Structure 1
Amino acid sequence: MRILVTLFAAALLVGCQSRVADVFDSRQNAGPCPPVGAVYDVARYVAFADGTDETYPNITYTAEIVDVRMFCRYADKDPLVAQMEIDFAFGKGDAARSDTHAYPYFVAVTRRNGKVLGKEYFNVEADFNGRKLDGRTESIARIEIPRLDESIAGSNFEILVGFDLTPEQLEFNRAGKRFLLNAEQ
């Protein structure tokens, strides 16, 4: 009887193994995922109290996009489906009035030539809880990248991430100015 039970258990394991292997084989991508990253000019966010100079004591909130990761899946000639994770670092300056702050950001799907195919806007919320620093990883469950057919690879597209900045914030970044809050100041 023990021999029959052992053989039955071995048969079940072999059966499970082949099913697991089939699932993983069907998930292999037919091509590469699109390149993904933060746009340099809009990867930092610095806000100052209204009507004040751009000096360290007047900072209300800062943020930076630290890392962007993406996972994608090809399915025949369907659109390429991607999931994304974005790591944010937040800072609260001396001029901040609240312990929470919403940072607006965008995710854009573009062709490699720069043409924007789609752009979505999001907010990520920082909760400082009496601290000067916070951080968060945001997940976006579904980004669709349009493909005409299965011969078009993900490498023909890019996914770009950045903060939705005011013209003044964008000018601050492009001028090469930079304030980073750290816990020791």
Structure 2
Amino acid sequence: MIKYAPLLAAVILTGCGAGKIADSFDTRQNAGPCPPVGALYDSSRYVEFDGGGELYSNIEFTGEIIDVRLFCRYVEDNPLEAEVEIDFAFGKGPAADSNAHTYPYYVAVTRRNGKVLAKKYFNTEGNFGGQNLTGKTEVIGTIEIPRVDESISGTNFEVVVGFELTQEQLEFNRAGKRFRMDAGQ
């Protein structure tokens, strides 16, 4: 395990891009399955209050990671290259004073045991245009995971996404609390 550490430390996450990764590679069959991908439950929701307490009337903005998809490609002993698509839903609450909000989020590559190999931070913009609800899909262009040899499958890794939260937001989520701007509609 120690001898592979430098190689695993070389995991690279690069910025947002466009286009499906499957479109840019040859047609040989993958060496194995893609890594599992998903949103971390504790950080899949975002609620920002105006400081007046955890009441509906004090909500400025909400966000939720709705879906995450991963497309990958690797053959022989080549590195695993993947693209991640993340679907977001955003809400503007009664205490919001703007028609736009920046939502920080992360994408991490982990070993199946949970050890983080690489983590990169991004921002996505929720533009409400006078409405209370909006959404968008973000594409993370290239994730490269080096493999020691062709016997290392994508299932040895996981790709995890979530909002970058304050300690208070994380505690709110862990307590099972939530507000959805579309509740009752």
Question: Could you tell me the TM-score, scaled by structure 2's length?
Answer: 0.84
Aligned residues: 162
Equivalences for residues 1-185 of structure 1 within 5 A: 26-50=27-51, 52-182=52-182
> Which is greater in Rg?
1
Contact 2:61–2:91 (CA<8 Å) still a contact in 1? yes
- CA–CA separation in structure 2 for the residues paired with 1:31 and 1:82: 13
Query: Larger helix proportion, structure 1 or 2?
Result: 1
Q: CA deviation at 1:184?
A: 6.1
CA RMSD of aligned residues (A): 1.7
- CA–CA separation in structure 2 for the residues paired with 1:43 and 1:183: 17
- Opposite residue 145 of structure 1, the aligned amino acid is I
- Opposite residue 109 of structure 1, the aligned amino acid is V
Q: Specify the SS of the correspondent of 2:96.
A: coil
**1:6 match:** none
Question: Could you tell me the TM-score, scaled by structure 1's length?
Answer: 0.84
- CA–CA separation in structure 2 for the residues paired with 1:168 and 1:86: 24
- Opposite residue 138 of structure 2, the aligned amino acid is E
* Structure 1 residues not aligned, in runs of 5+: 1-22
- Opposite residue 30 of structure 1, the aligned amino acid is A
- CA–CA separation in structure 2 for the residues paired with 1:26 and 1:127: 39
* Structure 2 residues not aligned, in runs of 5+: 1-23
Deviating more after overlay: 23-32 vs 126-135 = 23-32
Q: Which has the higher contact order (CA 8 A, sep 6+)?
A: 2
Q: Specify the SS of the correspondent of 1:155.
A: helix
**1:64-100 CA distances to partner (integer Å, 9 max, x unpaired)?**
0000001000033222000110000000001011100
**1:82-127 CA distances to partner (integer Å, 9 max, x unpaired)?**
0110000000001011100010000000000111000000001010
